[in-house]
Amino acid sequence: MKNFKCLIVDDEPLAIDVLENYLQRFENIEIRRCENALDAFRFLKEEKFDLIFLDIEMPLLTGLDFLGTLKNPPPVIITTAYRDYAVEGFEFEALDYLVKPISFPRFVKAFERALKINKGGDHQHDNQREDNEYLFLKVDRKFVKILISEILYIESLKDYVRVTTKSTSFISYQSLTSITEKLPSDKFIRIHRSFTISIDKVNSIEGNCIQIDGKLLPISREHRQEVLRKIQK
């Protein structure tokens, strides 16, 4: 049986010891530990991990800043003494959010979820998500949960994006590139410098335009071949 590889990133050795002790109660678990995000970069470059336990408040680079630099990270469970970062953690699609001191029953609940995802082959780094999964978008001063399956298309508005669903739309401060990278690549595609669409929401293609829910969206010459390949397969 293949070992389940975990990386623990925390600047408190005692906190790492607690997680390591919990993990050692399971079979076939391989553990790497480091006390800062820079060492974590090195580990991730050299090895492939199934799960990261990530602290937030660390010197040099916080856990969330570190997570924001990773393009396709493995599943992440945040471990922190602070409750204030929960929304930001889930915005980064963290698998769970554990507040220290972490009890063993609460740890088991989070870890068994990670094992289940691994067994099903549904890793975040594979960029494949089920239809009932979601994104948190920062809209004005709050975070709004949006089901990925309800997104029709996304439009770039310079430093913002407009995410359009069947029933409404939301404007969020981020780039079209950054939000597109968070979406499953088999279900969404960039069709223009200003638009990313949901492939299965396409009603028709006419000339250099795609129609979704009555809206005509342009296909750029740069993206046309890939768009046609994905939609017609």
Tens of pLDDT, residue by residue over 159-183, are: 899 999 989 999 998 899 989 988 8
If one counts the domains in the chain, the total is: 2
pLDDT at 126: 42
Span 198-204, average pLDDT: 93
Domain end point (choices 126, 149, 182): 126
- 103: domain CATH number is 3.40.50.2300
Reported as type and span, the H/E element at residue 67 is helix 63-69
Answer yes or no: do 57 and 78 share one domain: yes
- For residue 120, name the pLDDT band (cuts at 50, 70, 90): low
Q: Using CA atoms, how far apart are residues 138 and 229, in angstroms rounded to an integer? A: 33
Confidence of residue 125 (pLDDT cuts 50, 70, 90): very low
145 and 195 together in one domain: yes
pLDDT value for 87: 67
Q: Which of 57, 50, 54 is nearest to 34 (CA)?
A: 54
Q: Give dist(CA 137, CA 171) in Å, integer.
A: 8
70/39 same-domain check: yes
Cα torsion 172, 213, 184, 107 to 10°: value is 60
Tell me, what's the pLDDT at 89? 67
Q: What percent of the chain has pLDDT over 70?
A: 90
Nearest to 182 by CA among 196, 199, 168: 196
Show the domain range for 81.
4-126
pTM, 2 dp: 0.55
Based on the fold, state whether residues 64 and 139 are members of the same structural domain: no
Cα distance between residue 154 and residue 144, in whole Å: 15
For residue 10, is pLDDT > 50?
A: yes
Residue 132 pLDDT grade (very low, low, confident, very high; cuts 50, 70, 90): very low
- 126, 151, 176 - which closes a domain: 126
Quick one: average pLDDT of 90-94? 74
Average pLDDT for the chain: 86
The beta-carbon contacts of 132-135 under 8 Å, at least 24 apart in sequence, are: 135/91, 135/93, 135/179, 135/182, 135/183
Q: Domain end: 86, 109, 126, which one?
A: 126
Return d(Cα 24, Cα 27) in angstroms, integer.
7
Per-residue pLDDT at 60? 83
Residues in the chain: 233
